[in-house]
Amino acid sequence: MKIDIKKDDKGQKYVELDVYGYDLINNPLLNKGRSFSHEERVNFKLRGIVPPSNFPLEEIVDKNFQVILDKSTDLERHIYLRSLQDRNETLFYALLNKYIEKIMPLVYTPTVGLACQHFGQIYRRPRGVFISHPNRDAIDEILDHDYFDGTEVIVVSDGERILGLGDQGAGGMGIPIGKLSLYTGCAGIAPNKTLPIILDVGTDNEQLLNDPLYIGWRHKRIRGAEYDEFIDKFVTAVKKRFPKVLLQWEDFAQPNALKLLNRYKNELCTFNDDIQGTASIVVGALLAATIASGVPLAKQKIIVVGAGSAGVGIANLILDAMVDDGITREDAYKAFFMVDRYGLITDNIESLDFQKPFSRKSSDIAEWRVANSQNINLLETVINSGATMLIGVSAQGGIFTREVIKALAKNTERPIVFPLSNPTEKCEANPHDVLDWTDAKAIVGTGTAYSPYETVNGPKRIDQVNNSYIFPGLGLGVLAIGATRVTDRMFLIAAKALAAISPVNHNKDGNLLPPLSEVRNVSRDIAIAVAEEAIREGLTTYGHDLNRVEIEEIIDDYIWEPVYLPYYLKK
């Protein structure tokens, strides 16, 4: 939806409207709840249908936060927040901004996974677009609603690989909704510019197919050429309707994720957050971790557990960072050991695809002491490789055992351990256990939220290595500067920008990442760095003579703040 925001002679923003009464208060992008002024109530025919009391936004924010605290479960809190978002976007984001450390785990991970599993039960009001395969020839019509006119960023999923929960079908819509909430909450991209989409191609989840409340198309997932044709119809329709849109692919299964990214990355401004966004936040946190450890990235030995598109994406970006630091690509590959559910990946495996560059030569590991050279397990890999860093994106809960972590700690004074899978039950290790097993010497980052760890100096925040530190800021930079493409280099630039503001730059015992309360400032820094990179690569209409101050002004002018602007009648 396009909203006509203008400025008066003093530079103050206001909105001109020709929407009245119930049409106004039922529009979540425009509704002010009990905060409409007297003049607005008169001009927009709200007297009698809005309670006569008037409360400032700040007071209503605090009242709603107390309501959330009074709920008995996180799922109930998520439902309340979604309902609030559906009736008053400004209030929802003002609440998210003020209490982001408490609210974000309810809006997104870990609670969003539970919400996807129960999406049919908690569904209340329409949000976003459900494009089902039976409607494949009506996509142009579906996207043609006037309400979508202001769309600048889309998050799309087909629901097949929701977090570590697998196939959630159309219930996966919770992910695009949640991700776009973070675009707005963490980076200030106006909510009227966001559009969540689920591509409903069926589900292989029998529990959903048998659920009378399942909201999706009751059909086994389509695959192969039929699936590819459907996706192509969707992308063609998006390019036609929103030619300058930023399209983010989210939670597609491994066989499709990298294929779709490679298929369309040169056709429109697009990226895959699971592959590229995850890699960027991990590299940003790892660069900070190497400062804390005192061992530079080029001298680390790295085990990545989980050889899917996310794991390989992380490894590729770490490798790029190493090359940026001056070592050859050939030498950088020697630092990696990729482990999947069947053990260390070696050149003996015939079914390798995009993992192949990271496979170890059998000749290189011939002297390793292992029980079975055809199936070298994680513990054996840690011991024989001399690994100093352990990254988990395997969705195998508890695979980082005490024995594995103890072995890692023998290789280095300060081991780096990132169990990144989510939700919580899929996490490779509890970070509190990792710290206990290493006498608190490990440098830990997780993919989901955990309570602080008690140290002799008091509680210390567990760093959540969450994509929300990266993709909102990257999106802000791309959209504000009008970039036509998203490049791999932008994700490395974003990672370095994040590492540059890490607390460890001032205190090696500090956190790797700034607190979530500072995430909007983090997003702004990343947006500036990404915008500069887009200009360097010639991907915008702006010339190379645009200086940093001018870039900052462009970005600041683009940022939306959750405040109630005055409403005036459209002339």
- For the chain, percent of residues with pLDDT exceeding 70: 100
- Known binder of ligand: residue 422? yes
Q: Residue 352: its pLDDT value, please?
A: 80
202: DSSP letter: -
pLDDT of 477 over the 90 cut: yes
Mean pLDDT (whole number) for 310-329:
95
The mean pLDDT of the chain is: 95
Instruction: Show Cβ contacts of residue 188 under 8 Å, excluding neighbours closer than 6 positions.
Output: 476, 520, 523, 558, 559, 560, 561
Nearest to 357 by CA among 386, 387, 334, 377: 334
Nearest to 277 by CA among 87, 116, 491: 491
Dist. CA 57–CA 452, nearest whole Å: 31
pLDDT of 351 over the 80 cut: no
CATH superfamily of domain region 469-558: Malic enzyme, N-terminal domain (3.40.50.10380)
Nearest to 405 by CA among 390, 385, 426: 390
| Residues 504-516: tens digit of each pLDDT | 999 999 999 999 9
Residue 200 in tokens: 């409903």
Per-residue pLDDT band for 309 (boundaries 50, 70, 90) equals confident
pLDDT of 350 over the 80 cut: no
Per-residue pLDDT band for 448 (boundaries 50, 70, 90) equals confident
Q: Residue 164: its pLDDT value, please?
A: 80
Least confident of 20-24, 162-166, 187-191, 283-287: 162-166
179 is catalytic: yes
108 is catalytic: yes
Residue 86 in tokens: 């559906």
Nearest to 33 by CA among 20, 49, 15, 18: 49
Whole-structure pTM over 0.75, yes or no?
Answer: yes
pLDDT of 527 over the 90 cut: yes
Q: Is residue 327 a contact partner of residue 348, using CB atoms and an 8 Å limit? A: no
| Residues 87-143: tens digit of each pLDDT | 999 999 999 999 999 999 999 988 999 999 999 999 999 999 999 999 999 999 999
Q: Residue 57: its pLDDT value, please?
A: 97
Q: Residue 263: its pLDDT value, please?
A: 97
Per-residue pLDDT band for 294 (boundaries 50, 70, 90) equals very high
- Known binder of ligand: residue 137? no
- Known binder of ligand: residue 439? no
- Which residue has 């702004």 as its token pair? 524
| Residues 211-240: tens digit of each pLDDT | 999 999 999 999 999 999 999 999 999 999
- Could you tell me the residue ranges of all domains in the chain? 5-55, 108-267, 276-362+372-465, 469-558
- Known binder of ligand: residue 149? no
Nearest to 142 by CA among 186, 87, 198, 70: 198
> Which of 32, 93, 99, 108 does the annotation list as catalytic?
108
Instruction: Show Cβ contacts of residue 345 under 8 Å, excluding neighbours closer than 6 positions.
Output: 307, 338, 339, 352, 355, 358, 359, 360
- Known binder of ligand: residue 251? yes
Using CB atoms within 10 Å of the CB of residue 196, give its burial: 0 to 12 exposed, 13 to 18 middle, 19+ buried. buried
Q: Is residue 44 a contact partner of residue 567, using CB atoms and an 8 Å limit? A: yes
Phi, psi of 242 (to 5 degrees): -130, 75
Q: From 3.40.50.10380, 3.30.460.80, 3.40.50.1370, 3.30.1780.10, which CATH number describes the 108-267 domain?
A: 3.40.50.10380
Q: Residue 424: its pLDDT value, please?
A: 86
Dist. CA 185–CA 560, nearest whole Å: 9
Task: Tell me whether the CATH fold assigned to 108-267 matches the one assigned to 276-362+372-465.
Answer: yes
The CATH number of the structural domain formed by 276-362+372-465 is 3.40.50.720
| Residues 232-281: tens digit of each pLDDT | 999 999 999 999 999 999 999 988 999 999 999 999 999 999 999 999 99
Mean pLDDT (whole number) for 464-490:
97
Dist. CA 21–CA 5, nearest whole Å: 20
Dist. CA 128–CA 130, nearest whole Å: 7
Element (H, E) at 17: strand 13-17
| Residues 108-123: tens digit of each pLDDT | 988 999 999 999 999 9
| Residues 153-195: tens digit of each pLDDT | 999 999 999 988 899 999 999 999 999 999 999 999 999 999 9
> Which of 32, 93, 99, 179 does the annotation list as catalytic?
179
